[in-house]
Structure formats: C-alpha cells, structure tokens
Structure 1
C-alpha cells in the first residue's frame, strides 16, 4: 500500500525484528521467520498464508543484471545488510531459509561509496547515519523465476557478546536481527522465466497436534507448520546462556538483599536494645554482655595506664584525665632486707 500496491496497510513494517532480542534468543533459541515475524507465530503475517503476503510481484528484472536496493534506517544499530534470493514459484506456500541461503547476492559496483563502508563481497556495512542507503547488487546469471522471494537480513552490531577468540566486545555473540521480504520476477534475455516449483520438505506440526503429517502442496492450510530455520537439535547451548545468566543474577541480587536486611536488623537490635538492658529484647543477657565488655575494657585500660606510669609511654592530657577517673593501681611490692649480727650482713647469707 505504501508504494501503490493493493495490499492491507502495515503500520509496523519497520518492526520486523523476530519479536525482539529476548523473544528470538531466550524464547525461540535464535529462530526467526524468514520475513522477520516471531518464530512461534502461525501463520506468520509476512509469509505465504499470512495477512500481508499475497504473492504480488513488485518488480521484474533480467537475469545477471545489477539492480538498486534502497534501505531506510530510522534507528542505526551498526552491523551489516545481506540479501538472499529463493526461486520459489509457489506463492501460496511459505519459502524456506534453506532455499534463501543457496543464493546470497553479491554486491555490484557503485559510482560513489559510503565513507564508513568496509567493502565485503556480499555484506553492506552502513555508516552511523539514519537515512536511506542506496545499494547495488547483482542477480545470478543463470537463475530465472516467475516468483522469487527476495530477503533482506540486517544483523545488528550494537550488543556486547563473546567473540570466537574468547574475548568480549560490542558486535560479538548473538545480535538483534531485522528481516523483510519482497516477491520479484526474473526473466532471461527472451523474457521467459522458469516456473518450476522449488522442492520443499514435508511440513511438520507442533508436538500437541495429533493429525497426520501430509505432503506440502499449493493448497497448504494455515495450520501447517513449515520448518524453515535451524532444527532444535542444532541450536547451540550458548543461545540459552542468557536465560541461565539471568537466573543467577536474580538469585545473587536476592541473596544480597537478604544479607543487607540481616545486617540492618543486627545494627537496630544493638543500638535500640542491647545498649538498654531494661528494654524488652535485652534482659539479663544484654546486661551480662555489657558487664563483660566493660570489665574487659577496664582491665585493658588499667594495664595501659600501669605501663605509662612505669615510663613505657608518655602521658598526654587525655591520659591524665583517664587516670583521674580510673581505679587506683597498687604499687609493686618490694621485699625489705633485714640485718643481723655485725656489719649488717643480710639474713639471706646466713
């Protein structure tokens, strides 16, 4: 509808990001619909059988020619673009990612190049601006179709993740993905196209469905479940690491909160009850603890004052005040010598 085609209006066509990063990687294990719909949606709105996928051919091209693609970025997430093509020829049946991955389009030459563009054979790296990017790509020279599915895949690069070399950096690991599709026709030099349907695998149903699996046909019903992504057994464990990390983080936060509460209660009990033996929570135990602490403190202070009186440490004004308030310390006892006989011979020599 935006470009004059008789299709239902889609006011959220800029939000085809697989349901979001959390939905794609924590719920669906990295899976995504080929046109950007969440993996679990059935039927997917932007694939065959959905609301917006009507099989309308929006452009016709010549095999082996270069053509222009324009992509409008309203929120730049770095990363790169890639474009894929599937000679599907079955407008009423959803295409598969396996078919799209067989034909990754190569870039064509541009008269001008973006300043931040790092040239890659198939990938386009946008700059930091939000604008309409104009790209040139090449169609395969030996491929024609009456209905080809053209896929735009945008792998963002603004999330922190683990790199293959064991380090961490922005752009490594799983990233947010955006996708979109268009139906085009490719002809040869005589204007004819191959209309052979692309072979598809048998459709699979959800585990809860008890109906038998049937062969895929052009009259595929919306209830049929087309597996067009990574099989469940091939999903790496790293994709589910985010969920485990989230549980560990929540448990750590909860444990820290409990410890903080216990420390607060201990401080509260000490200042409002342990220091008041007559309080409701103090009692004789609090009084005994207080007496024991004061006794130990008095003994330590007495030893310190005794050492200072014997010349082991100088006294200051604060120490003098402490001595005035401290209990008196008895002087050291010295044994007296007595003399007997003549010339004062000590009795311990007799």
Structure 2
C-alpha cells in the first residue's frame, strides 16, 4: 500500500498531525478507552517518536512497546464494558514533540486452535482493532515538582495467558 496511508499524517484522514494531548512532567499517563461492544481479550499500547523515524512504521512502534504501571504490557479486560482507564509508563527520558500513541485491542471471543491439539475460545486468530493519537511528551526534569515515579518491573518470567480479574477499576 502506498504511503502515506489514508489515516496517516498527510493521508486523506490523517490531516497535518495536530497534537491532541501534551504530557508534561510525568512518568505516567492515564489513558481511557470506551468499550461499547466487548470482544474479551486485551489492550496493548505502543509509541512512535516521529523525530526518530519520520513516519509511522512498524519499526518505529516496535522501539517503544509501552508497559502499564504494574509492569505488564497487556491489560486484559475480561467482559468489562464502558470506560476502561489504565496508567501507562512513558519510556525513560523520552521527549518528543510529535509522537504517535497506538492502541491495539486484540479480541479473545473467537474459537480457534490452541496449538496443543485442542481448541478454545480466545485461541487462534482474533479480531484486532487499532487507533492512534498524535501526542507530545516532555519528560520530567530534576526541577519538576511532586513527580511520582512508579516502581516498574518486568513480568516476563511470570507471564501466562489467564485473564486476570481487575475488579472495579472501571467506570460503566
């Protein structure tokens, strides 16, 4: 497909890349997604710094795979609907005048082969929904007052595909 694609900067819908949100003096950001039809599954967020790569390529998004404050890179939503809010951690020392924040929602409501000879809901290919926002980030400086830095840790060694129960973290 030729570049830019319709929803990218310079494309038919992409416009000129107007910055929709500026994040200043914070290591984290609360993001909200309103789910009107739940497909189970999980959310994942990536960031592309256009100053480094120039366009919204997969290589650009792969550099900054974002984590949530608990250290995970996926937020399993269960059967929750309505507004789902979660806190993301920005990459260390990242400043960008123009970044693209990409949200990916991978569903889990389709039946498919699990790879071990069985089949189940959530296995195999799933629907994927993607949306982006043009943002800017100014990382906190030593003069930034009252800046909270979460303890972020890797959960790769303890990762499993079970859907955790997040309780009442969401507003319906």
Q: TM-score, normalised by structure 1?
A: 0.37
Are residues 52 and 147 of structure 1, via their aligned partners in 2, closer, same or farther at CA, if it must alter by over 3 Å? same
Q: Distance in 1 between matches of 2:47 and 2:4?
A: 22
Report the Cα offset of residue 65 of structure 1.
1.1
Are residues 67 and 184 of structure 1, via their aligned partners in 2, closer, same or farther at CA, if it must alter by over 3 Å? same
Q: Which has the higher contact order (CA 8 A, sep 6+)?
A: 2
Report the Cα offset of residue 108 of structure 1.
1.7
Contact map agreement 2:26 2:140 (CA 8 A) in 1: no
Are residues 158 and 164 of structure 1, via their aligned partners in 2, closer, same or farther at CA, if it must alter by over 3 Å? same
CA shift digits 1:82-139 (9 cap, x unpaired):
0001111389x64111211221111125xxxxxxxxxx71111113132011111110
Report the Cα offset of residue 177 of structure 1.
0.5
Does residue 80 of structure 1 match 2:42? yes
Contact map agreement 1:63 1:143 (CA 8 A) in 2: no
* Structure 1: unaligned runs, 5 residues or longer: 1-39, 110-119, 191-350
Q: Distance in 1 between matches of 2:51 and 2:115?
A: 39
SS of the counterpart of 1:100?
helix
Name the residue aligned to 2:12: 51
Name the residue aligned to 1:106: 67
SS of the counterpart of 1:98?
helix
Q: Distance in 2 between matches of 1:163 and 1:170?
A: 9
CA shift digits 1:252-281 (9 cap, x unpaired):
xxxxxxxxxxxxxxxxxxxxxxxxxxxxxx
Are residues 89 and 42 of structure 1, via their aligned partners in 2, closer, same or farther at CA, if it must alter by over 3 Å? closer
Q: Larger C-alpha radius of gyration, 1 or 2? A: 1
Name the residue aligned to 2:133: 182
Runs of 4+ in 1 over 6 A off after TM superposition: none
CA shift digits 1:209-231 (9 cap, x unpaired):
xxxxxxxxxxxxxxxxxxxxxxx
Does residue 130 of structure 1 match 2:81? yes
Name the residue aligned to 1:68: 30
Q: Distance in 2 between matches of 1:162 and 1:102?
A: 31
- Counterpart pick for 1:145 among 96, 116, 130: 96
CA-based RMSD of the aligned residues comes to: 2.3
Q: TM-score, normalised by structure 2?
A: 0.72
Instruction: Give the number of the structure whose residues are more often helix, by fraction.
Output: 1
Name the residue aligned to 1:165: 116
* Structure 2: unaligned runs, 5 residues or longer: 142-172
Report the Cα offset of residue 42 of structure 1.
6.4
Contact map agreement 1:106 1:137 (CA 8 A) in 2: yes
Contact map agreement 2:50 2:98 (CA 8 A) in 1: yes
